[in-house]
């Protein structure tokens, strides 16, 4: 049975890694060398730059399992998606070996995909969080906040359906690259502004028409420019929850488990409470670490 191993969440902009001895995490590593920041270097070279200090501690080799965008066509080795419906227990049987690291044993986790009329979707990295979260807190629905928020519908241990909502990226683009964020100055936290935006967004059926009003409201003195970011966050998250509540008709009866960091989880908790959706939460890093351990242990079976 594999005891010592390295688990890596290698995303678009950042990388997080954990060195495991059994269930114990003995070291961590964080880097900004995501797959969009290779700067012309080969992935193998970056891998050794990041991990040679760990690898030197194991002269007989240590297994490595990597998840996330490292398995995309912009990453290291394009790793085929597993098509949904997909059973979480089967993901470990489709890991992609990384031949360039031989004789070291290394693999990349496949993502999940849906290719149906009315729903084309992909995920990479979140499937590993799902494996861990479902083992700890089984649920019928999961919400995974982030740049591209995932809403996942489960059928037992099987991912039956999922949708992607670009709430985080849209917020970033509007604040940093559009007229909505022009001239707003330094921003501050405001629970009141977030709540006001969230309530409007939740009850809005045509969110696009509300976006420019974010600018108009502070230009006309109805919204403090220093809380535009908070108000817009509430507007978008509130509308997201309202739309997905319509998408999944039984979500109020079955509830949702949020997989994410503390800050985003708190925002989604508030929106889910407004919608009357029962919910619980699990830390995103804890879910990933649990998931990567499960995948490694399955390799021996």
* Interval 197-241: pLDDT, tens: 999 999 999 999 999 999 999 999 999 999 999 999 999 999 999
Token couple for 1: 């049975």
Query: Cβ of 39: how many Cβ atoms within 10 Å?
Result: 7
Q: Is the pLDDT of residue 25 over 90?
A: yes
User: From edge to edge, which strands make up the β-sheet containing 82-83?
Assistant: 82-83, 112-116, 119-123
pLDDT at residue 299 in the model: 79
Residue 170: its H or E element: helix 167-177
Helix, strand, or coil here: 138? coil
pLDDT at residue 298 in the model: 84
Q: What's the mean pLDDT in 6-31?
A: 94
Question: Cα–chain-centroid distance for residue 280?
Answer: 17
Model confidence at 301, in pLDDT bands (50, 70, 90)? low
What is the Cα–Cα distance from 256 to 278, expressed in whole angstroms? 6
| pLDDT tens digits, 116-162 | 999 999 999 999 999 999 999 999 999 999 999 999 999 999 999 99
Tell me the pTM: 0.94
């Amino acid at each position: 049975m594999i005891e010592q191993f390295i688990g890596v969440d290698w995303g678009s902009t950042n990388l997080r890694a954990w060195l495991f001895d059994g269930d114990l995490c003995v070291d961590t590593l964080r880097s900004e060398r995501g797959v969009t920041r290779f700067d012309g270097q080969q992935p193998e070279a970056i891998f050794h730059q990041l991990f040679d200090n760990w690898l030197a501690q194991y002269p007989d080799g240590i297994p490595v399992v990597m998840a996330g965008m490292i398995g995309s066509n912009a990453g290291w080795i394009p790793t085929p998606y597993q098509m949904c419906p997909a059973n979480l227990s089967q993901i470990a049987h489709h890991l992609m070996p990384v031949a360039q690291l031989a004789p070291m044993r290394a693999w990349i986790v496949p993502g999940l995909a849906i290719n149906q009329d009315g729903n084309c979707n992909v995920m990479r990295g979140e499937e590993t969080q799902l494996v861990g979260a479902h083992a700890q807190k089984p649920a019928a629905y999961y919400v995974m906040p982030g740049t591209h928020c995932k809403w996942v519908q489960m059928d037992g241990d099987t991912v039956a359906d999922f949708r992607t909502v670009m709430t985080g990226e849209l917020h970033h683009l509007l604040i940093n690259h559009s007229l909505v964020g022009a001239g707003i100055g330094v921003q501050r936290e405001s629970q009141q502004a977030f709540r006001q935006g969230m309530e409007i967004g939740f009850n809005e059926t045509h969110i696009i028409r509300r976006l420019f009003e974010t600018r108009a409201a502070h230009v006309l003195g109805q919204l403090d420019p220093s809380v535009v970011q908070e108000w817009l966050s509430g507007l978008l998250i509130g509308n997201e929850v309202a739309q997905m509540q319509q998408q999944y008709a039984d979500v109020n009866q079955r509830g949702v488990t949020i997989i994410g960091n503390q800050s985003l989880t708190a925002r989604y908790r508030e929106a889910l409470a407004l919608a009357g959706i029962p919910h619980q939460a699990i830390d995103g890093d804890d879910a990933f670490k649990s998931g990567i351990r499960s995948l490694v242990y399955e390799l021996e079976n």
